[in-house]
Amino acid sequence: MRFSPVRGGGAARTVGRHLACLALVLTPWAVSAGWRLDALVRLDQAIEETIAAGKCPGAALWIEHDGLTYQRAYGQRAVEPAAEAMTMDTVFDVASLTKVVATTPAVLLLVERGQVQLDAPVRRFLPEFDGEGRGSITVRHLLTHTSGLRVGISGADFGDYAAGMAVALRQRPVGKPGTACHYCDVNFLLLGEIVRRVAGQPLDEFAAREIFQPLAMHDTAFRPPPALRSRTAPTQRTDEGFLRGIVQDPTARRMGGVAGHAGLFTTAADLARFARMMLNNGGLEGVRVLRPETVRQMTSVQTPGQITERRGLGWDIDSGYSRPRGLLFPLGSYGHTGWTGVLLWIDPFSRTTVILLTNRLHPADRGNLTELYGIAGTLAACAVEDFDFTHVRGALPFRTNFIRWGPSPTGWRLSGKARRSRRAPTARARRRGSGKGEVRRAKGASFPAG
């Protein structure tokens, strides 16, 4: 049995031409606990080869589908000054995942409560942000990266939160808002400040009270406490030693560790709980964090039709950053990546989540994981045994190829047609071992009520 990406029509032909370099030939292996073990073994191999190539010291992988999980830790979380084995409870600096796990839901909670309006000008909440084209920028523009603002402020001279925010507030658009999509950290710096001013408390406190604590994400925090430091993955080396429990992003670090674009630390298990809440339309284990309509709005296309890139509110859907979608997850799945070497991708159609966390910047910034992101997304979808990715009702139409896929580190090749049975999930969903990883039933997984 061979698998290849088929999204229909010209999309399939174009994707097939550009992405045939991901070489994978799947033969019929036994299926255990709802997974295709051959795909999981090949994903294990790809991650191990990436580590062996020196692109990252280790990784934590979590794949979840309809309540089943496959999880595994690889390599080491630290190699200097002393070696430490990677564990599944390792706490990672997740960089720009902060934007979608903390800042976006915080802003949308304020929208639900009528305290913030998506199409209101930013100056309504940040009066200093006015003049020189700033006045027409809305909250929605910030959330969709269509504000026209510059990329970031890391080159500016500032030493604390107030000074950094003053620099952000002085940024002016270099393009007309709403006409192009340019990924920009300043957008989320401003959104974090909107949360602080409207909610009356800093972003880290608001997110902890309204999101992380209700979801029992006990290992998720900005500026992680000493109790979490010992299992936090270090990142880059500084004059004071390796950063450990201190945010790597230079702007967020100078602003005290709390910013709307970066600064969050978390684990694979906590991110899985967050993803489960998203797939359950805003609720988890009897606790509602967001309204169903809010989740649908966040994860549907919010960029104007004339813009080629498609983004939700905060979330990436179809852009040059969408590599974790791989070859099989349908257009309309969504996710995000982070500079430290992390990804979160969620497919609401197959109810599958892929989480890959690394600290690629340790001990030296030599790792490029972009190819691994695509391999991880593709093989995670291949591992789902009971879903047909070839005909996904409700998926978005193909628009263009944003990503040119180069040779993969494995040399695998995709060919033939991708087929999946439509059988109900196997009854063998109880906890069982799978290869070197672990398969189990995820707590709190359920179909949304509506």
Considering the domain boundaries, does residue 449 fall inside one? no
pLDDT at 151: 86
pLDDT at 244: 97
Higher pLDDT, 11 or 262: 262
Considering the domain boundaries, does residue 248 fall inside one? no
Model pTM? 0.87
CA distances to 196, 317, 332, 404, 418 from 322, in Å? 30, 7, 11, 11, 20
Instruction: Select from 394, 398, 389 the least CA-distant residue to 418.
Output: 389
Instruction: Select from 372, 80, 259 the least CA-distant residue to 247.
Output: 259
- Give strand pairing partners of 241: 238
C-alpha angle 80-83-89 in degrees, rounded to nearest 5: 110
Phi, psi of 18 (to 5 degrees): -80, -25
| Structure-token pair, residue 209 | 């009270």
User: What CA–CA distance (Å, rounded) separates 117 from 139?
Assistant: 7
- Both 56 and 166 in a single domain? no
Considering the domain boundaries, does residue 242 fall inside one? no
Q: Which of 166, 188, 206 is the last residue of a domain?
A: 206
Q: How confident is the model at residue 324 (pLDDT cuts 50, 70, 90)?
A: very high
Q: Is the pLDDT of residue 92 over 80?
A: yes
Domain count within the chain: 2
Considering the domain boundaries, does residue 262 fall inside one? no
- Give strand pairing partners of 74: 59
- Both 117 and 84 in a single domain? no
CATH of the domain at 359: 3.40.710
Higher pLDDT, 405 or 285: 285
- Both 340 and 360 in a single domain? yes
Dump pLDDT digits (tens) for 120-145: 999 999 999 999 999 999 999 999 99
pLDDT at 402: 87
Q: Is the pLDDT of residue 358 over 80?
A: yes
Q: How confident is the model at residue 445 (pLDDT cuts 50, 70, 90)?
A: very low
- Both 412 and 336 in a single domain? yes
CATH of the domain at 133: 1.20.58.710
- Both 304 and 402 in a single domain? yes
pLDDT at 401: 84
pLDDT at 34: 79
pLDDT mean over 336-359: 98
User: What CA–CA distance (Å, rounded) separates 354 from 361?
Assistant: 21
Q: Which of 157, 174, 206 is the last residue of a domain?
A: 206
- Both 282 and 417 in a single domain? yes
| Structure-token pair, residue 349 | 């159609």
- Both 181 and 321 in a single domain? no
pLDDT at 297: 98
Considering the domain boundaries, does residue 4 fall inside one? no
pLDDT at 211: 98
pLDDT mean over 23-47: 71
- Both 288 and 182 in a single domain? no
Dump pLDDT digits (tens) for 385-440: 999 999 899 999 999 888 876 554 344 444 333 333 323 333 333 233 333 576 66
Dump pLDDT digits (tens) for 243-272: 999 999 999 999 999 999 999 999 999 999
Residues 6+ apart with CB under 8 A from 34: 65, 66, 68, 385, 386, 425, 426, 428, 429, 439
Mean pLDDT of the chain: 86
Phi, psi of 144 (to 5 degrees): -105, 5
- Both 423 and 304 in a single domain? yes
Dump pLDDT digits (tens) for 145-159: 999 998 889 888 999
Q: Residue 378: which domain range?
A: 9-90+267-441
pLDDT at 405: 65
Considering the domain boundaries, does residue 228 fall inside one? no
Dump pLDDT digits (tens) for 40-81: 999 999 999 999 999 999 999 999 999 899 999 999 999 999
Q: Is the pLDDT of residue 352 over 90?
A: yes
| Long-range contact pairs involving 167-174 (C-beta distance under 8 Å, separation at least 24) | 168/193, 169/126, 169/128, 169/129, 169/193, 172/132, 172/133, 172/134, 173/133, 173/134, 173/137, 173/147, 173/148, 173/149, 174/148, 174/149, 174/150
Point out the least confidently predicted range of 83-87, 309-313, 342-346, 415-419. Answer: 415-419
pLDDT at 432: 31
- Both 78 and 121 in a single domain? no
Considering the domain boundaries, does residue 2 fall inside one? no
Q: Is the pLDDT of residue 97 over 60?
A: yes
User: What CA–CA distance (Å, rounded) separates 311 from 100?
Assistant: 12
Considering the domain boundaries, does residue 380 fall inside one? yes
- Both 177 and 289 in a single domain? no
Q: Is the peptide bond before 363 cis (omega within 30 degrees of 0)?
A: yes
- Both 136 and 115 in a single domain? yes
| Structure-token pair, residue 417 | 């047609």
CA distances to 145, 276, 308 from 319, in Å? 12, 24, 8
Point out the least confidently predicted range of 15-29, 115-129, 336-350. Answer: 15-29
pLDDT at 407: 54
